Each structure stands twice: as C-alpha cells, then as structure tokens.
Structure 1
Amino acid sequence: MYVTSELCPVSDALAFLAGSWRVERTVRDLADDVTGTFTGTTDFTAEPGGGLLHFESGTFAWRGVARPAERTLRYLPDETPGTAVVRFSDGRFFHGLDLRDGHHIADHPCSADLYRGEFEVYDADRWRTVWRVKGPAKDLVLTTDYRRT
C-alpha cells in the first residue's frame, strides 16, 4: 500500500503507461467478507496507428484456489491532448482517463452495477487504481498497485 500526500501530474497518459508493470491486486467481496489476490504483470505496448494494447496476466487466488488469469484492454488517444479513452478488447467503451493532475475518477455502468474507479499516480514508476463496484449483483473493492519493471 502506498501512502502519500502528493500526487504526480502526468502530461501524457499514454507515454506514462507505456512499458511493463508489476501488478498486485486485492479483491474484497464486502458482501461475503472474502478477500482474494492477483499478482502478475501488465504490459502496455504500442499499437499500429496509435494507442497502447494493455495485456495483463498472472495468478488470481480466490477462496483457496489459484488459477491463471488475463485480460486485454486498449488505451487510445482521446480528443484532449495527454488524455486517453479505454476500451475493452472487443472495442466497447470502458472509461476515459485524464491523469494531468495525477488523479482521475471514472464511472462505468455494467448492467445494474456501477464501477467507480479512482486512479492515482505517485511518481514515474508507481500508480494505483481502486475500483468500487456496487449494485445488486456485486459489492467489491479492487485495489491494484502498479510498479514499473
């Protein structure tokens, strides 16, 4: 867990994210009082035509069972210089991303649940996301720390 009172402004989200990151995530199911973990890597690699392909892979441990897990997202330049739009691998919109003041909040409705993400940049090599998922189907907190490799 990072504790800091200072956030690091990022003039270009895509340039900041490019490269490889070590990932540590906790997943707390508040309804069932269960906590799981994900450990692995996230690689942001350049896509032809601009943007970054985000590929995350590692091990997710939940209720005593560890299994491989992965996901792919696309980070594309947004209309405002230095900002990005995040899309799922199939092209659907996920959320915008503006780290110019080192902090961003994004909402993503998913059926009747709401995903609210908070992004914080601590320095050139560390950042965090906290997703709060609330609704009739889910009551979760996902906290992910990224450290550049």
Structure 2
Amino acid sequence: MTRTPEDFVGRWSLQRTIRDQLNGQHGALAGNATFTQVDATRLTYDETGTLTLENGVHLEATRQYLWTFSPDLVTVTFSDGGLFHQFVPSDHAIGTDHPCGGDFYKVRYDFTTWPRWTAVWTVTGPRKNYVSTSIYAPMPSPP
C-alpha cells in the first residue's frame, strides 16, 4: 500500500541507533519527529532529540526537511531547497542515493509494519562509515 501525506501528518516518537565504524562513536537518539501539512502535497519534517554517545556525552539534535508527494513518489529536500533523495512510500522502499562530497548516503525505508516504520541509512566514504537506524511510531494527539 502506498502511503499518502495524510498518513504521516502528526507527531512520531523516534528512536535511532548509530553504529559508527570509522570513529567508533556509537550512539542512540531519543526524540520525536513532527510532520506538518503545508498543502495537499507537501509536509515539513521537524526532528528534535537527544543523542547520547557511548562515552556518555549528550548532544541536542535537530533536522528539518520538506517532503513533497507526487503520484507514487516522495521527494525529500533540505530546508534550503536542495535535493536530498526520493523514494516510493510503499512496503520496502529503496531511496535514491545522495552523494555529499566524497561520502555516499543510501537509504532503505520499511513501511510493512505500518503505522510503525523504519529508515536505515548506510553512509560510506572517506569521512564517514556508519549505519543509522531510525524507528518511528505514532504518538497520540494531545487532548
């Protein structure tokens, strides 16, 4: 089943693990992601959380993206409008690759256990070598 913008609107709990093979700085992020409808085909994605590294260091983390839906395709752009990646929001989805300098980002989405879903990023290159696994689960709306 292909997901629509309406499926994502709202707040999601976010749990992320990061396994850094280059620097050994493994960590876990606990936070939330909010999708807000801009119009019929666009959602803003706002993420906040606390990243805890294995050495006990705590870092505040934020991200913002724009998700634009067209028939059977989502285009994800950075807050400055630059293209990040695209994917089909259905079942097991492999996103388009994203080169960043000499580093290379690959993503796999899994929507098969909806409304719980995952995004797994594998990042390799001269400056990075890690796997980031994000698990999203819906949060109840406040009363």
Identity of aligned residues (%): 33
Higher relative contact order (CA 8 A, sep 6+): 1
In structure 1, the partner of 2:61 is 69
Query: Displacement, 1:31?
Result: 1.9
Counterpart Cα distance in 2 of 1:69 and 1:47: 23
Query: Displacement, 1:14?
Result: 2.1
Preserved CA contact (<8 Å) 1:128 1:143 = yes
Instruction: List alignment gaps of at least 5 residues for structure 1.
Output: 1-8
3-state SS of the aligned residue for 1:33?
A: coil
3-state SS of the aligned residue for 1:34?
A: coil
Task: Give the RMSD, CA atoms, in angstroms.
Answer: 1.5
Aligned mate of 2:27, from 31, 36, 44: 36
Query: Displacement, 1:49?
Result: 6.3
Counterpart Cα distance in 2 of 1:135 and 1:127: 27
Preserved CA contact (<8 Å) 1:14 1:84 = no
Count of paired positions = 137
Preserved CA contact (<8 Å) 1:14 1:83 = no
Counterpart Cα distance in 2 of 1:104 and 1:122: 10
What is the one-letter code of the residue matched to 1:127?
W
Residues 41-91 of structure 1 deviation map (CA, whole Å, 9 limit, x = unaligned): 00001014640000000111123211221110000123xx14210000110
Q: TM-score, normalised by structure 2?
A: 0.88
In structure 1, the partner of 2:45 is 54
In structure 2, the partner of 1:121 is 111
Q: Superposed, which structure 2 residues align to 1:1-149 within 5 Å?
A: 9=1, 11-48=2-39, 50-62=41-53, 63-78=55-70, 81-100=71-90, 102-106=91-95, 107-149=97-139
Instruction: List alignment gaps of at least 5 residues for structure 2.
Output: none
Preserved CA contact (<8 Å) 2:99 2:105 = yes
